[in-house]
């Protein structure tokens, strides 16, 4: 079974930063890569802030925090992945973009290096086919926020070999996560169930069955959900929600997965949730107020 010591992470956004955080905190050397030093500096600041929070809660020792941060190197050049035993891609949920990343990545990897994608919905088999190592490629779908959420979905492509799967499953356990094994169907397990619920909540708003606050209150108190579906959609990002629904709709050809027109309209307006300050709620107000 391949030995994983050095881990590369492509994409220093919320997901990539979280993956780098948990891997470094578990003793792995990490190279975090993105397109600019500005993005990388922001990512390191965010990781430091999150680790400080863990120190305050007694979940991480100050010395361990310093050691973990020391294990994270940053780069804007894929050549930095030359020593990586595993590279995890955590870019935007866009298949064309991910394929382009893999084409640029593979010439920089050693022959035995494994590749994983953090896609939340796209075919692992198709993505693997855009690399030179489909047998050493698989899905490793972390949940957001990565340091807090315990689950990682592990997904084999049709060509993924058993050694790759075993090595990635072992890594998942070593970084303190629980693995759920999913087949390579559109959106896997979590998003196959979660995103249609969110989409239905948007339809419920679109059709005037209830307002934003009524829908979220109903699910929080009526189904004991920690967040309402529209609040959760804003947290995930409405652009990501729409991308997953489109994968489900196109991949399974079932009308029940049709993205709600209101979800499409919000994304077209650029109102994609918390990350831009506006989605189903306006986050410039305290507390946030519904936008519809």
Q: Of 50, 153, 199, 231, which residue is the catalytic one? A: 153
Q: Of 6, 191, 199, 231, which residue is the catalytic one? A: 191
Q: Do domains 6-182 and 192-283 have the same CATH topology?
A: no
- Looking at residue 120, what DSSP letter applies? S
Architecture of domain 192-283: Orthogonal Bundle (1.10)
Residue 120 designated active-site: yes
Q: Of 123, 141, 199, 231, which residue is the catalytic one? A: 141
CATH, domain range 6-182: 3.40.50.720
Structural domain boundaries in the chain? 6-182, 192-283
**What per-residue string of b and e applies to 188-201 under the rule 16 or more CB within 10 Å gives b?**
bbbbbebbbebbeb
pLDDT tens-place values along the chain, 292 residues long: 789 999 999 999 999 999 999 999 999 999 999 999 999 999 999 999 999 999 999 999 999 999 999 999 999 999 999 999 999 999 999 999 999 999 999 999 999 999 999 999 999 999 999 999 999 999 999 999 999 999 999 999 999 999 999 999 999 999 999 999 999 999 999 999 999 999 999 999 999 999 999 999 999 999 999 999 999 999 999 999 999 999 999 999 999 999 999 999 999 999 999 999 999 999 999 999 999 9
Distance CA 24, CA 31 (A): 10
Contact yes or no for 247/186 (Cβ under 8 A): yes
Q: Of 17, 84, 120, 121, which residue is the catalytic one? A: 120
What pLDDT is stored for residue 231 in this prediction?
98
The pLDDT tens digits of the residues spanning 13-51 come to 999 999 999 999 999 999 999 999 999 999 999 999 999
Q: What is the pTM of this model?
A: 0.92
Residue 36 designated active-site: no
The pLDDT tens digits of the residues spanning 189-206 come to 999 999 999 999 999 999
């Amino acid at each position: 079974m391949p030995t994983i010591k050095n881990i590369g992470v492509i994409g220093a956004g919320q997901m990539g930063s979280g993956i780098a955080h948990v891997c470094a905190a578990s003793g792995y050397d990490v190279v975090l890569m993105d397109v600019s030093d500005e993005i990388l500096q922001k990512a390191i600041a965010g990781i430091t802030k999150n680790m400080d929070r863990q120190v305050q809660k007694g979940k991480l020792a100050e010395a361990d925090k310093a050691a973990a941060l020391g294990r994270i190197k940053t780069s804007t050049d894929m050549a930095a992945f030359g020593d990586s035993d595993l590279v995890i891609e955590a870019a935007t949920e866009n298949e064309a973009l991910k394929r382009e990343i893999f084409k640029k990545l593979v010439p920089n990897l050693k022959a035995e290096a494994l590749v994983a994608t953090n896609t939340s919905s796209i075919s692992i088999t198709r993505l693997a086919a855009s690399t030179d190592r489909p047998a050493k490629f698989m899905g490793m779908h972390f949940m957001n926020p990565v340091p807090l959420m315990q689950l990682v979905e592990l997904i084999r492509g049709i060509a993924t070999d058993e050694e790759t799967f075993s090595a990635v499953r072992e890594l998942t356990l070593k970084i303190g996560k629980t693995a759920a094994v999913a087949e390579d169907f559109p959106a896997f397990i979590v998003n196959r169930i979660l995103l249609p619920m969110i989409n239905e909540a948007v339809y419920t708003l679109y059709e005037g069955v209830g307002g934003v606050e009524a829908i979220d209150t109903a699910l929080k108190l009526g189904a004991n959900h920690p967040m309402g579906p529209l609040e959760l959609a804003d947290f995930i990002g409405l652009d990501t929600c729409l991308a997953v629904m489109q994968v489900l709709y196109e991949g399974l050809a079932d009308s029940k997965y049709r993205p709600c027109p209101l979800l499409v309209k919000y994304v077209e307006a650029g109102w994609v949730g918390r990350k831009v300050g506006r989605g189903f709620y306006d986050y410039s107000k305290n507390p946030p107020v519904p936008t519809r």
